[in-house]
Chain A
Amino acid sequence: MTDAHDDTSGAPREYIAAIDQGTTSSRCIVFDRDGRVVSVEQKEHEQIFPKPGWVEHDATEIWTNVQEVVAGALAKARISKEQVKAIGITNQRETTLLWDRATGEPVHNAIVWQDTRTDALCRELGRNVGQDRFRRDTGLPLASYFAGPKIRWLLDNVEGLRERAERGEIMFGTMDSWVIWNLTGGTEGGVHVTDVTNASRTLLMSLRTLQWDEKICNSIGVPTALLPEIRSSAEVFGTARGGALDGVPVASALGDQQAALFGQTCFSVGEGKSTYGTGTFLLMNTGPKAINSYAGLVTTVGYRIGDQDPVYALEGSIAVTGALVQWMRDQMGLINSAAEIETLALSVDDNGGAYFVPAFSGLFAPYWRSDARGVISGLTRYVTKAHLARAVLEATAWQTREIVDAMKKDSGMELTTLKVDGGMTSNNLLMQNISDFLDVPVVRPMVSETTCLGAAYAAGLAVGFWNDVEDLRANWRRAAEWTPQMDAAERDREYQFWLKAVKRTMGWLDEES
């Protein structure tokens, strides 16, 4: 890694620290003025599964880990807290925690975004309207991911909690709020805030006013006394008290996917990024206008810098991308490591007529069909495991195409370039497939840690470490670019086959009772 002491000016060098409180681990990364990684420290936390479909985190463990990784990252960079000009926060989105205002003790484990315990509650909350009951105001469908129904579940199920909440003794927060409150002093004057991007994932915030919507809070059954103040994504919330960063301004908060959008410097309308991991999240900047989706996407706040106008985004997610490669490795045993999927796929020239639609738990955006299940179609005697490996990679690329098409339909905007990050970007064939199927260039930035970088950028802007977004753009470096090489007629023909395969997944399960 870079030596933190190789400066030529003589003045001590200055840095920004970013905390990424993620689903499986907490990390702290120290960045320099060029946006380069100086040091990284990471610690995993326990995943708690009390029942099938339930996922919880111990928020106390998480806070301890956050303090450790911050101290660790500073030590590894061999810098003092005086050299850290600001702290930025990014976090797993929607994960919900309630804690006691007076003692700082969580009243229950945090309920993680993946947790499905509020499925039935969400259906009930939809009443006769269904899952789009709050979509116009919040941009979101009523689904178990989002924080609002999780708060309601806790108030209904933890004894005496509703009364305590109504007396104002309880605080709610997503993990950004929990980390900021603790960093800024906790019970000793900690600030209770969240940012617009995290608030936009609760189902409780109006996308237009960027404030809590009292009517919706009432409908879902969440007393507003619980809720943190909604602030922008880049401003000084307070200063850290105690710990390794005592006295350093806490100056940004962004949900992880929005932070990646920011770190990829997608500051112009129509710029988008796609993060390829176990699943995939694609966000496109739609500017100062919140665009309603009729094509099954989610409308969300992209970011807001200080008192500038908010920037909205359309978001589409793909449930199964890297997970399909893992499935080929772990369940099918066709490869020994995830990277080998490319070797296997490259041993043939095409998919041999096979198409793989991994609707393992239904079809997500833009279809939203829970009755669908996975399908491999087009099988003949000719098809080998290598053709299936091709089909696996193509599935990720075609699903990306479907999200991009839906975004075009909703916004009328053409995506000109797709910026990519995440573990699967090391797969060259996949990146080429995406470029071919989208017919746009696909570019990978030089810093793969775009999530932390986004939080660092926002914090640095808030304290004047960087002047404006143009400064940040100037830091962005292209590490690789894939350009479309596929014949248009062939692309269209292949897409039709893919769409036919998708149709075959639908209606596999009988109507849910």
Chain B
Amino acid sequence: MARTIQSLERAAAVLRLLAGGERRLGLSDIASAIGLAKATTHGLLRTLQQEGFVEQDPSSGRYQLGAELLRLGNSYLDVHELRARALVWTDDLARSSGESAYVGVLHQQGVLIVHHVFRPDDSRQVLEVGAMQPLHSTALGKVLAAYDPVAHNEVMESDFAAITELTVTDPAEFERGLERVRARGWASDVGETWDGVASIAAPILDRRRMPVGAVGITGAEERMRSDGALSPRLIAAVRDCARSVSRDLGAGRF
């Protein structure tokens, strides 16, 4: 057997102890039960407490299992919860950008649209919630591939089909694109999925700064560009929206 890390074994012992029997234990009970010095045990407990795996009752000073353990076992964010949290911010994004807004999550080998806000003009539009988009060509998909390792695996195993003449079909070139996405904090798609259509997207992060989805806008290239490049105002609007939703989900400022 490979070398193991002693302090992790000890921490596991503390958790097992708190998970069984009395459930709320004082420092000396814990120390004697696992056969360690009080100071060492206290160090373990303090670290576990910082990570949220253990909580200390403020009045009795006793320790018990923390809420974080429950979350670990049930950690994915419900997509409908994501939509409810994103609603206000994406309405604002659609209004300020004048384009339609989308929230997408990874689903199987693609992007599942979980929320869609119409472009704020009087044109006839169809709700696209439930539709799937490709990972390798859309702005939403690139954001997911850049930030979520599972999405990255999926896209690298895909066939990089040419959807338009501009779709990136070379995995190495795609990978270099993802590095740019990580460096800038946003992704774009200019005519790579739909001719003449551009989109911009940014990541939504949860309280552990894990990527849970992407938010973006999509519109005609002519409206999305200014002076040849994607409009900085629109990029800022998308990133502001992503930050706002992330903050609502408990992520710190970034």
List, in ascending order, chain B residues with CB within 8 A of A338's CB: 84
Which B-chain residue is minimally distant from A481 (CB atoms)? B127
Restricting to A319-375, which residues have a CB under 8 Å from any CB of B? 336-343
A482 to B83, CA, bound (A): 16
List, in ascending order, chain B residues with CB within 8 A of A341's CB: 80
- Selected from B84, B95, B127, the residue in CB contact (under 8 A) with A480 is B127
- The answer, yes or no, to whether B65 is at the interface (CB within 8 Å) is no
B125 touches A481 (CB 8 A): yes
B80 touches A448 (CB 8 A): no
B80 touches A339 (CB 8 A): yes
A468 to B120, CA, bound (A): 21
Q: Given A2-B96, A482-B127, do A343 and B91 touch, yes or no (CB 8 Å)?
A: no
List, in ascending order, chain A residues with CB within 8 A of B83's CB: 339, 426, 428
- The answer, yes or no, to whether B92 is at the interface (CB within 8 Å) is yes
Q: What distance in Å separates the Cβ of B98 from its nearest Cβ neighbour in chain A?
A: 10
A426 to B245, CA, bound (A): 15
Q: What distance in Å separates the Cβ of A414 from its nearest Cβ neighbour in chain B?
A: 22
B120 touches A446 (CB 8 A): yes
A273 to B95, CA, bound (A): 22
A339 to B115, CA, bound (A): 13
Q: Given A2-B96, A36-B95, A448-B91, do A479 and B117 touch, yes or no (CB 8 Å)?
A: yes
List, in ascending order, chain A residues with CB within 8 A of B120's CB: 446, 477-479
A1 to B241, CA, bound (A): 9
List, in ascending order, chain A residues with CB within 8 A of B53's CB: none
Q: Given A337-B81, A448-B88, do A480 and B96 touch, yes or no (CB 8 Å)?
A: no
A2 to B233, CA, bound (A): 13
A340 to B85, CA, bound (A): 13
List, in ascending order, chain B residues with CB within 8 A of A1's CB: 92
- The answer, yes or no, to whether B197 is at the interface (CB within 8 Å) is no
List, in ascending order, chain A residues with CB within 8 A of B118's CB: 446, 477-481
- The answer, yes or no, to whether B79 is at the interface (CB within 8 Å) is yes
A342 touches B116 (CB 8 A): no
Which A-chain residue is minimally distant from B81 (CB atoms)? A339
Q: What distance in Å separates the Cβ of B104 from its nearest Cβ neighbour in chain A?
A: 14
User: Interface residue tally of chain B, by bracket?
Assistant: 20 to 34
List, in ascending order, chain A residues with CB within 8 A of B94's CB: 446, 479
Restricting to B183-202, which residues have a CB under 8 Å from any CB of A? none
Q: What distance in Å separates the Cβ of A477 from its nearest Cβ neighbour in chain B?
A: 4
A342 touches B91 (CB 8 A): no
Q: What distance in Å separates the Cβ of B204 from its nearest Cβ neighbour in chain A?
A: 15
Mask: chain B, 39-81; 1 = CB below 8 Å from A; 0 = not: 0000000000000000000000000000000000010001111
Q: What distance in Å separates the Cβ of B97 from its nearest Cβ neighbour in chain A?
A: 12
- The answer, yes or no, to whether A447 is at the interface (CB within 8 Å) is yes
A341 to B129, CA, bound (A): 17
- Selected from B78, B125, B129, the residue in CB contact (under 8 A) with A340 is B78
Q: Of residues B80, B87, B91, B129, which shows the largest number of chain A Cβ atoms within 10 Å of its Cβ?
A: B80
- The answer, yes or no, to whether A377 is at the interface (CB within 8 Å) is no
Q: Given A36-B95, A477-B95, A481-B127, do A342 and B80 touch, yes or no (CB 8 Å)?
A: yes
Q: What distance in Å separates the Cβ of B23 from its nearest Cβ neighbour in chain A?
A: 21
List, in ascending order, chain A residues with CB within 8 A of B92's CB: 1-2, 36-37
A446 to B129, CA, bound (A): 16
- The answer, yes or no, to whether A25 is at the interface (CB within 8 Å) is no
List, in ascending order, chain B residues with CB within 8 A of A337's CB: 78, 81
- The answer, yes or no, to whether A411 is at the interface (CB within 8 Å) is no
A447 touches B91 (CB 8 A): yes
Which B-chain residue is minimally distant from A446 (CB atoms)? B91
Q: Given A428-B129, A479-B94, A482-B127, do A343 and B80 touch, yes or no (CB 8 Å)?
A: yes
List, in ascending order, chain B residues with CB within 8 A of A447's CB: 91
Lowest 7 A-B CB distances belong to which pairs? Answer: A339-B80, A339-B81, A426-B84, A477-B120, A342-B80, A339-B84, A479-B117
Residues of A participating in the B interface, judged by any CB pair closer than 8 Å: 1-2, 36-37, 336-343, 423, 425-428, 446-448, 477-482
11 A/B residue pairs, CB under 8 Å, sorted by A:
A339-B81, A339-B83, A423-B84, A426-B80, A426-B84, A427-B80, A446-B94, A446-B118, A478-B122, A479-B91, A480-B127
